[in-house]
Amino acid sequence: MTGAAAIAPLPWPLRVAANPGYEALAAVLDLALEQAQAGKGAERHALAGEPYQDQQIVQLGEWLDSTAFAVGQACKKAIESTRLPHDRARAELLGAINYLAAAVIQLDRAAGKGAGRG
C-alpha cells in the first residue's frame, strides 16, 4: 500500500532508530514506549522508578509461567479498539503493543537471554 498517509509527526525526536522505509513503524513503537513510561501504562502498572521489566505487566506472566496473560490482554485491547473512536482506539492499540513487548521480555528471560534480546 504505497502512498498511504504517514503517521502524524511526533512532538519529540524519534528515539527508535529506523532504516529508510521503516520510519512509520519506529514512530508507532516510540509512541508505545511513551505510553508505557509516561502515560496510562506508567500510571497503572509502575511503582515509582520501577523498571518496565520488573513491573506487573511482565511479572504476571512469570508468576503464571505463561505468556498467555500478556497475549490475551493484547488481544482484548485490539478487539476493543475496533469499537472506539480514533484517539481511544489508538491508545488501546499502543497498550496492546506494550503487552506484547512484556511477553517478549518474559520469553527471553525464560530462555536465559537478556530482556528483549533474541
Please state the pTM of the whole predicted model.
0.83
Non-local CB neighbours of 61 within 8 Å, separated by 6+ positions = 67, 68, 69, 70, 102, 103, 106
Q: In this predicted model, what pLDDT tens digit does every residue of 22-51 receive, in sequence order?
A: 888 999 999 999 999 887 766 776 677 788
User: Is 115 in a helix, a strand, or coil?
Assistant: coil
